[in-house]
């Protein structure tokens, strides 16, 4: 499934069932809810997208995107999420304690590189007060 240049349908979210692959490209204020993705879910060149995974997704990638709210469930918590050239990413995971509540985890968007022992070591810059 491929979504391209869609704009502002966040309020009427698209729903996809079990599919092999989903790519959301050049979409603005876009929302999508899907059940299972067999291969990969990708967000590229987007602005303000909301994504909810209700089943499983092994790989989620966010590339060149400003603003991505990603809702995972307990089955998709093990997903490997890759990000590149992106900002304002939040992952919302269901809370263990209060059933049904979401806990928001911002993904780092800035990184610091230091030269040590002949190579660069990179660590994320955290702005969270937690």
In this structure, are residues 118 and 128 in contact, taking their beta carbons and an 8 Å threshold? Answer: no
In this structure, are residues 18 and 38 in contact, taking their beta carbons and an 8 Å threshold? Answer: yes
Closest alpha carbon to 56 in 71, 72, 75: 75
Binding of its own copies by 83 (CB under 8 A): yes
Binding of its own copies by 85 (CB under 8 A): yes
* x-marked contacts with its own copies along 22-61 as a string, rule CB under 8 A: ----------------------------------------
Residues that bind its own copies (CB under 8 A): 66, 72, 77-87, 91, 93, 96, 105, 107-115, 118-120, 122, 124-125
């Amino acid at each position: 499934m491929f979504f391209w240049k869609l704009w502002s349908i966040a309020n009427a979210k698209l729903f996809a069932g079990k599919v092999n692959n989903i790519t959301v490209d050049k979409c603005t204020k876009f929302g999508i809810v899907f059940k299972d993705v067999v291969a990969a879910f990708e967000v590229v060149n987007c602005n303000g997208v909301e994504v909810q995974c209700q089943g499983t997704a092994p790989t989620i990638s966010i590339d060149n995107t400003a603003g991505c709210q990603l809702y995972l469930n307990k089955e998709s918590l093990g997903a490997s999420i890759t990000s590149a050239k992106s900002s304002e990413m939040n992952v919302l995971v269901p809370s263990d304690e209060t059933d049904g509540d979401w806990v928001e985890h911002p993904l780092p968007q800035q990184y610091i590189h230091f030269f040590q022992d002949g190579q660069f070591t990179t660590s994320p810059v955290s702005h969270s007060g937690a």
